Amino acid sequence: MTAANHELPSQAETADIETSSDEYATRFAGPAGVWMLGIQERITRRMLADLDGGSILDVGGGHGQLAVPLYHAGYDVTVFGSAPSCRRRVESILDGRRGRFVTGAVIALPFPDRAFDAAISFRLMTHCAAWRTLIGELCRVARRAVVVDYPTSQSVNIAAPALFGAKKRMEGNTRTWTLFRHEDIMNAFAAAGYVLAERDAQFFLPMVLHRALRCRPLSAGLEALFRVGGLTRRWGSPVIVKMVPAQRAA
């Protein structure tokens, strides 16, 4: 499935309700799942390191994959979810000081312009029909950076749509998703006045394969070889990008 040519901004975008659930969390259970989340966290924290513990809005971050570790790393974290149920997995950090939760529409964020040092969104854009609108909102509320992830068709994942049936049988709780071209993402950010500062791919092999292997040492060994060989940089997915205002990059 490739990036859509149009959007439906009026459509409710509530994909984060599922990704914030306990059932979704089972996809990252066990040593292999912890390893996969560790790679995501390590890349993201590196991209946010220059914020020095600043304020972060995590849109659709009720899964807690990044909100929780970023909070414990000293950042001021606001998690934004589509429904009150999205707060359950981040409850431990909601102290009302450096950890907060706000509910609303992810494509109509109830915050003023440049309200946060950075805005991040993971596990959401690929399930969001109005993904361009989402990007625009992330850029509007961020002062210094936007960090997002997305799966790309310019990778081994190009075969993913054909394998969707097998993936669903294996995982049980998978959903349809959008594969993006890098150019589509860059153009959407450019329309909001943002340019690329950094890009890093997480894996060369599809994540569903690592879940099927259930062997952290084997997965880690294979991915290390692909990364050293340059295959992950060129054809890896999902991709994490750090985007910054064009004037900051000048």
Kind of pairing between the strands at 116-121 and 55-59: parallel
Residue 229's CB is within 10 A of a number of other CB atoms, namely 11
- For residue 157, the model assigns a pLDDT of 67
Identify the CA nearest to 135 among candidates 176, 101, 98, 178: 178
Total of domains in the chain: 1
The residue ranges of the chain whose pLDDT is under 50 are: 1-10, 164, 166-167
Strand order in the sheet with 55-59: 99-103, 76-81, 55-59, 116-121, 142-150, 239-245, 194-201
Q: What one-character-per-residue DSSP string does 13-43 give? A: --THHHHTSHHHHGGG-HHHHHHHHHHHHHH
Classify residue 128: in a domain, yes or no.
yes
Residue pLDDT, tens place only, 45-86: 999 999 988 999 999 999 999 999 999 999 999 999 999 999
195 lies in some domain: yes
What integer pLDDT is reported at residue 160 of this predicted model?
A: 56
State whether residue 82 is helix, strand or coil.
coil
- Give residue 12's pLDDT: 77
What pLDDT shows up at residue 174?
A: 55
| Within-domain flag for 11 | no
9 within some domain: no
In a domain, residue 22? The reply is yes
Distance of CA 130 to the CA centre of its chain: 15
This prediction has a pTM of 0.89
Cα distances from 157 to residues 4, 28, 81, 187, 192, in angstroms, run: 17, 19, 28, 21, 28
Reported as a single tens digit per residue, the pLDDT across 83-96 is: 999 999 999 999 99
Q: Is residue 33 part of a domain?
A: yes
Q: Which domain holds residue 98?
A: 16-245
For residue 95, give the CATH number of its domain: 3.40.50.150
Q: What pLDDT does 4 receive?
A: 35
In a domain, residue 149? The reply is: yes
d(CA 8, CA 107): 11
